[in-house]
Structure 1
Amino acid sequence: MEFLAYRAGVILAAVVLDRLLGDPPQLPHPVRLIGYLIASGESIRRLPLPVRWSGTLLAMGVIAVTGAAAWLLVKLGYAAGFWWGLAVEALLVYLAVAPHSLAGEALAVDGYLQRGDLPGARQRLAMIVGRDTAGLDEREVRRAAVETVGENTVDAVLCPVFYALLFGAAGAWVYKAVSTLDSMIGYRHGPYRDFGRAAARLDDFAAFVPARLALFFVPPAALLSGLSARDAWRVGWRDRLAHPSPNAGHGEALFAGALNACLGGPSTYNGRPSEKPYLGAEYPPPGPPAIRQAVTLLWATAWLFAAAGAAVLVFLSRF
């Protein structure tokens, strides 16, 4: 099982690359290609099938194509040479994890707030959240930014790293396909309610274990970040299932406790009010340092999770 030790190196190299480089802006990101595939495949709705079946077929097709493409690229890399194969796999995992871009977008919102440019902060926030941002005040903008960092610490970091640890680069990209399907068609209301049901359920299933693993990694990461590990665990465990999503509440509740900040509450999506429970209701709203603290916690969690996963793979490689 020596290959597990090499996979551990691939995971660590991918996180280092993301920290140093972020997403290459001059190249089309593979997620955009997945998005194009999904948009092109929506014509499947015209088939004489129940809407849920056609949505399921689209989801399965996108996942199969994405996984096969990643697997083939890795195979071609190894066909060129062992180190080429490792390099291709590290590159693919690097493109699948996204702490750098998530941190950058959140800090950009924080930068606008620090300059007193609330309209700019709202516009920048709209690039990373699904809620309506036009009427948000400064505290609501800050809360939304912290919430998306907390939620996406699971979705954009722990999940792809988890599946890369289990199945290599192909596993990470199968997850990215599931996540992209959910973000594009996995809505609970409107015209995609039935068509996107399979995508939404697959995303819930795929993130189930990583979301719960966050309970064991965010608190120690909070300790490393100078935040409250005790409150992260207490509030995370208490409030994680209050969120309407089976997984999103884990990251948000953990971050609420670690930052001693109240998250959640009412929001508006496409003009439709959404009443969500408060997470960490005993705390005040996020203060001016909260976004920067959330980004620090994001990176600490990413490093800790990747290092722990790599250590497990190295240990297993000895058998």
Structure 2
Amino acid sequence: MFKMYYFLGLLALAAGYGLDMVIGDPRFLWHPIRAIGWLITITEKFLRKLFPKTDKGEFIAGIFLVIIVTILSTVFPLALIFIAYKISIWLGFILETIMCYQILATKALKDESMKVYEALNKEGLDAGRKAVSMIVGRDTENLSKEGVIKATVETIAENTADGIIAPMLYLAIAGPACGFFYKSVNTMDSMVGYKNDKYMYFGRVAAKLDDVLNFFPARIAGWLMIFSSRLLGLNYKNAKKIFLRDRFNHASPNSAQTESVMAGALGVELAGDAVYFGKVVKKKTIGDKLRPIVLSDIKRANALLYMSSAVSLLVFMSIKCLIGGFVFHIIPF
């Protein structure tokens, strides 16, 4: 019986990926990640009232935030899948497929980045700045056209890891419950993981845990993107060179892993100084400026995103099949 559930989980991951590629994230559909965001918001308000407004108090409150949000985000989908499979194996499979689909975000990332492309191409710089402000955390009102394109390409590169390949890896490891555990931490980091007065201590544990959970996936994503760039006919040799040279050119231990591959594959320079909340933040550059970055690089970045997601799915499913085949040969369940 366990063997059947194991391989149904593989099929659910593949089917969920297919749904993501076809449907994406329609705004009219309810999404569980928004529920996780709501949970984070109300839990933060409760904990801030409960704990003293000191550095230590906020740090401890942040620990409880991580515990509460991760437990609820993991246990609830696990219970739903367990109940669904108890009712019907097909109901369980359908629910697992839907959850896998909801955790992945390949088409959504492409769609949002292409909104920037279309805005710049058809409406001009101001429209491009407005569109890119929806997908980045930096200030965008003074970005040049090149700056808007760079910000978009960087977002595609970073989210190829933590929006697609990392959650896909956790889904392959232990199904939707593990995937939602990862997404809960990733969502907390995006909401409270800032190094400002409000979240310096409160969001520290969430930010550090996100770094830990992304450590291996980001590096795996880098190598898979290098291989994918070769399949696309991009400059994979330069992608590997820049990856090995610049993958630590970021305050985060993980963000530059995939940004460096993207910069090398496209032959452009990414990163550099950026403005956040009115303050200039000094950053190292990533990649060599072999040529100026151009609007069509958004499309090239998305091509690498799609190829990397497909390659990742095939690699993770193949490894899980091999492991499952070996385990079930030794220990028939």
**Interval containing the TM-score (normalised by the shorter chain):** over 0.9
Between the aligned partners of 1:86 and 1:216, the Cα distance in structure 2 is 31
Between the aligned partners of 2:191 and 2:51, the Cα distance in structure 1 is 23
| Match 1:106 to one of 109, 113, 122 | 113
| Match 1:298 to one of 305, 311, 318 | 305
| Match 1:273 to one of 253, 277, 280 | 280
1:206 and 2:208 are equivalent in the alignment: no
| Match 1:177 to one of 177, 181, 184 | 184
Deviation at 1:125, TM superposition (A): 0.5
Note the 1:129-140 alignment, pairs <5 A: 129-140=136-147
Count the aligned residue pairs. Answer: 319
Note the 1:1-319 alignment, pairs <5 A: 2=3, 3-43=5-45, 44-48=47-51, 50-319=57-326
Q: Deviations over 1:157-216 (max 9, x none)?
A: 011101101110001101110011000001122211100001100110111110010132
Q: Deviations over 1:220-263 (max 9, x none)?
A: 11122221111111111110011111000001111001111110
Q: One-letter code of the match for 1:300?
A: M
Secondary structure of 1:83's partner? Answer: helix
Between the aligned partners of 1:215 and 1:37, the Cα distance in structure 2 is 32
Between the aligned partners of 1:65 and 1:285, the Cα distance in structure 2 is 47
1:77, 1:85 within 8 Å by CA — same for their partners in 2? Answer: yes
Q: Deviations over 1:249-306 (max 9, x none)?
A: 0011110011111101111011111111110134334222100000000000000001
Q: Which one is further off, 99-108 or 39-48?
A: 39-48
TM-score, length-normalised on structure 2? 0.93
Secondary structure of 1:268's partner? Answer: strand
User: Over aligned residues, Cα RMSD in angstroms?
Assistant: 1.2
Between the aligned partners of 1:48 and 1:12, the Cα distance in structure 2 is 44
Between the aligned partners of 1:282 and 1:127, the Cα distance in structure 2 is 27
The 3 A distance-change label for structure 1 pair 285 and 244 is farther
2:20, 2:106 within 8 Å by CA — same for their partners in 1? Answer: yes
Aligned match of 2:331: none
Q: One-letter code of the match for 1:277?
A: K
Deviation at 1:48, TM superposition (A): 3.6
Q: Where do 5+ consecutive residues of structure 2 fail to align?
A: 327-333
The 3 A distance-change label for structure 1 pair 285 and 189 is farther
Deviation at 1:116, TM superposition (A): 4.5
Identity %: 33
Q: One-letter code of the match for 1:270?
A: F
The 3 A distance-change label for structure 1 pair 282 and 24 is closer
Q: One-letter code of the match for 2:41?
A: A
Q: One-letter code of the match for 1:12?
A: A
